[in-house]
Amino acid sequence: MVRMQCAHEGSVDYDLSGSGVPPPRLDEIIDTQDLLRELLSERQGYAPAGGSPALRSSIASIYSGAGPENIMVTNGATEANFVGAWRLLEKGDEIVVIVPNYLQTWNLATSWGVRVKPLQLREEAGWQFDLEEIKSVVTSNTKAVQLCNPNNPTGAALSDEHRKALLDAARETDAWVLCDEVYIGAEVDGVRTRSLWGTYERMLVTNGLCKAYGLPGLRVGWLVGEQETLKELTAYRDYLTLTHSTPSDYVARVVLERERREKILSQNQAFIREGFRNLLDWGRNRDPPFSWVSPRAGPMCFASYHSGEGSLDIATRLLKEKSVLVVPGVQLGMDGYLRIATGVPREYLHEGLSRLSDIIADG
Ligand SMILES: Cc1ncc(COP(=O)(O)O)c(C=O)c1O
């Protein structure tokens, strides 16, 4: 998915493949005089492994019951996801991945010789998993369950009932839970999804500034876990990148000051709401050849179509014939769907959707 995006996102007429909000400039969210003074006077040594105490405290304040010792700062959520999976999984293990999903963990696990079992989210159930199925998929052989909540690409969040079923299944089998929460704070209705942190000892939560905060370029992510677990993960991380960037540590501290972070999140939520309204407006007086379940979070929708054509084929025709880029569902673990970005200007979205409709109708 990432390779296809990188190859085409700069050259297509309409790029609807993204999964984030437009990133702000730093001078739109921070007093840059102060920032510059601090940045220029800071010595550019290695940032403390795991994050500066101030940054870890700010991040910990987002999670009820967490302290700085429960936080490890990483290079983006990508590194957080990697380190957690790397520590936990070995060749011959088994992991359950809730799909569709951002497939980083799935693909890493496969490449390490780990057996991957899918647990399907079901569109007809509002993108929740089946409460019976989880009991048969998560077994005593399951080393870990990985999910993204709220979910990329569907935008759905686990209901209370499904959250409990997940935790029950993990407790019964002693499985770890790896939960990517980069979309918490990006809810369309502004109602914050509850983190899974604090619900179970074998829990590793990952997050970062990339999605809800709209600041992927800072490359700041983090893991939330038990102190002993994080100590082990730090040793693994020593072999990967040692630490994150010193300037980004400082900027992230400023970004995550309580009032500022809430303001950033609510601005991004307003943008996400507007994108979703634009999507609905476009569909209102038409009979589009695709449909979607309203996302709870994130600037995207996961649209189903019924032409029978593979999603990679549709996405490839759309790219070649109409210069529009979307993500084929098959790259997110579920064919027959397309992920469409809504975090773009209204006219841009509408034209991209119209071209997509033509392609599906021609199929
Ligand atoms: C669910 C999810 N996790 C992690 C990432 C990457 O995070 P980062 O940019 O912080 O490394 C993405 C990027 O699209 C994502 O969708």
DSSP 223-254: EE--HHHHHHHHHHHTTTTSS--HHHHHHHHH
Class of domain 2-19+262-362: alpha beta
Interatomic CA distance for residues 275 and 344, integer angstroms = 7
Nearest residue to 197 (alpha-carbon basis) of 213, 211, 179: 179
Instruction: List the end-to-end C-alpha distance of the chain, in Å, as a whole number.
Output: 22
Mean pLDDT of 209-228: 98
Closest atom of ligand 1 to CA, residue 78: 11
For residue 81, what pLDDT is reported?
Answer: 98
Q: Which atom of ligand 1 is nearest to the CA of 216?
A: 9
Q: In this predicted model, what pLDDT tens digit does every residue of 10-35 receive, in sequence order?
A: 899 999 999 999 999 999 999 889 89
Atom of ligand 1 minimally distant from the CA of 102: 1
Task: Report pLDDT digits (tens) over 173-185.
Answer: 999 999 999 999 9
DSSP string, 140-155: TTEEEEEEESSPTTT-
Is it the case that residue 158 has pLDDT exceeding 90? yes
Query: Average pLDDT of 276-280?
Result: 96
Name every protein residue with a CB atom under 6 angstroms from any ligand 1 atom: 19, 76-78, 102, 148, 152, 180, 182, 208, 210, 216, 221
What does the alpha-carbon distance between residue 274 and residue 343 come to, in Å, rounded to a whole number?
8
> Which residues are 292's β-sheet partners?
303
Cα of 285 from ligand 1 centre, angstroms: 34
What local confidence, expressed as pLDDT, does residue 362 receive? 82
Domain covering 26-256 in this structure, CATH number: 3.40.640.10
Is 0.95 surpassed by the pTM of this model?
yes
Q: What is the DSSP letter of 349?
A: H
Q: What angle do CA 142, 148, 152 make, to 5 degrees?
A: 135
- Domain residue ranges in the chain: 2-19+262-362, 26-256
> Ligand 1: which of 2, 78, 209 to mutate, most ligand atoms within 8 Å of CB?
78
What amino acid is encoded at 229 in this protein? T
The alpha carbon of 221 and the centre of ligand 1 are apart by a number of angstroms equal to 9
Cα distance between residue 358 and residue 363, in whole Å: 9
Mutate to test the pocket of ligand 1, among 210, 223, 302 (most ligand atoms within 8 A of CB): 210
